[in-house]
Amino acid sequence: MDKKISFERVLDVDHEKAFEVVSNFDKYAEFIPGCSGSSLIERKYPIEIGRLDFHVLGKDYFIESENTLTKNSIDINQIIGPFDHFKGSWVVKKRDEFSCHVSFNASFQLPFLLNVITPQSLIDSFSSKVLNSFISRLL
């Protein structure tokens, strides 16, 4: 069964600045909790291949993803990683000159044993910390 993450927020920040933060994949290790490395492997616009390394609950994980960029969105698809599958998307929409609407949605499936021992509350807590790190980076 798929797990889901959904986040929406109106931020008092320019939409271009917000999109710059979510699209600069290789800078994620500077501000995402538990992210020990982030790198851009390949860029052939509109496709980027990136890798994120995480140290979570005493274990190292990594995810490589294919990210498709438009002027205000990023679609994320896991290529290699800890999930049976992972699909996500960032969307940043301009509201006015000084604010924007930012959303992140993801659907993923954990491997069977990890799924059994990982409560939704842990996923929600980790997701909240990661998403709040993006907001802190923006403000």
> Domain locations in the chain?
3-138
How far is 132 from 109, CA to CA, in rounded Å? 23
User: What's residue 58's pLDDT?
Assistant: 87
Residue 82 burial (CB < 10 Å; 0-12/13-18/19+)? middle
How far is 38 from 51, CA to CA, in rounded Å? 6
How far is 81 from 53, CA to CA, in rounded Å? 10
Tens digit of each residue's pLDDT (9 = 90 or more) over 63-116? 999 999 999 999 999 999 999 999 999 999 999 999 999 999 999 998 887 777
pTM over 0.85: yes
Mean pLDDT of the chain: 92
CATH superfamily of 3-138: START domain (3.30.530.20)
Amino acid of residue 52: L
